[in-house]
Amino acid sequence: MSAPLSLPQSSPVSPTGDRMCFRVQSSRIPEWNYIVDLTGEEGRSTCTCIDWAVRRGPAIKAGGVIGTREVMCRHVIAARNYFLNGLLASMAKSETER
Ligand SMILES: [Zn+2]
């Protein structure tokens, strides 16, 4: 028996309401948000930040591999962690309900 899991209150990631799209707060400028689409670029994900535009996007176009640091900016990594945390918590919950 375990207490229900909850995500950290300070999580800089929140759902946008669009399927698999998340809003990620800038670490340097809290008023800024970037939008990450986890299923964009065949699962390698897209982000609206400069790092993605100048480094990650071109790395993807050059054949970058899904899940590698080369193709993921910090916002994509944060959104993937947020999504996976929610998925694992709900899987664990449904398995205890059987
Ligand atoms: Zn980004």
Per domain, the residue ranges of the chain are 13-96
pLDDT tens for each residue of the chain, 98 residues long: 444 555 444 469 999 999 999 999 998 888 999 999 999 999 999 999 999 999 999 999 999 999 999 999 999 999 999 999 999 999 999 998 87
Rounded distance from Cα 48 to ligand 1 centre (Å): 6
Which is nearest to 76 in space by CA: 41, 49, 48, 36?
36
Q: How far is the CA of 54 from the centre of ligand 1 (A)?
A: 10
CA atoms in the 13 A half-sphere facing the CB of 77 = 11
- pLDDT confidence of residue 6: 52
d(CA 2, ligand 1 centre) in Å: 35
How far CA 93 is from CA of 38, 52, 82, in Å, comes to 23, 35, 17
CA dihedral 2, 4, 9, 13 (to 10 degrees): 110
What is the per-residue pLDDT for 1?
Answer: 47
